[in-house]
A and B are shown apart, each in its own frame.
Chain A
Amino acid sequence: MNIFRLTGDLSHLAAIIILLLKIWKTRSCAGISGKSQILFALVFTTRYLDLFSSFISLYNTVMKVIYIMCAYATVYLIYGKFKATYDGNHDTFRVEFLLIPVVLLAVLINHAFAPMEILWTFSIYLESVAILPQLFMISKTGEAETITTHYLFFLGLYRTLYLFNWIWRFYFEGFFDLIAVVAGLVQTILYCDFFYLYITKVLKGKKLSLPA
């Protein structure tokens, strides 16, 4: 464990909690892409199947359980409890255009052609593009609630910190995982546009609004 991975995980946890609290407190999921949340639930489900088969550490197990529970709770709030506030008209990204390439890539490019390994690879590739429906929805509505931008900031920051974690592990531990690094780079690059808007607008107290 290193400082980048720890702060990365805490940033990820913060993002997940911020979103859950936003929906719960405002009793509304306006501006939130349910499709992205379903994809994240799928990412955690396919990545943490080893939750019961291999014990790495208490921290690892506890965090995995929290991520999975929060992911499904968020999906439930969006499509169940607060369905009336779900903005389906703007959440129209065609997720099959993500799932099909990701499945093909996971089957073709992986560390080992074994079920658990392919599921993990699928989860890594899917996570790198899972935010696209959310970013697409914001570009369609032309704006985002400030709390939603904080959610996105911490979510983007987490994988950015993981990139530093992988540099650290390569340098100090000789570890290198090309699949995780490349997917993590793609994931972080997708946030660049948002990071720019977040830093130049939201941090200056303005509302995040895109030139529609």
Chain B
Amino acid sequence: LGQRSTKDEL
């Protein structure tokens, strides 16, 4: 499922 792009989100 692709890379988690929301690492910087709360």
| Alpha-carbon separation in the docked complex, A196 to B8 (Å) | 32
How many residues of A sit at the interface, in one of the four size bands?
Answer: 20 to 34
Residues of chain B with a CB closer than 8 A to A112's CB: 4
Residues of chain A with a CB closer than 8 A to B6's CB: 166, 169, 175, 177, 180
Tell me what chain A mostly uses at the interface: helix, strand, loop, or mixed: helix
The total of chain B residues at the interface (CB under 8 A) is 10
Q: Which residues of B contact A (CB under 8 A)?
A: 1-10
Q: Ordered nearest first, which 6 A-B pairs have the shortest CB separation?
A: A175-B5, A111-B4, A177-B5, A177-B6, A56-B8, A180-B6
Beyond A109-B1, A111-B1, 17 additional pairs, beta carbon < 8 A: A9-B10, A12-B10, A56-B8, A60-B8, A60-B10, A111-B4, A162-B9, A165-B9, A166-B6, A169-B5, A176-B2, A177-B5, A177-B6, A178-B1, A178-B2, A179-B1, A180-B4
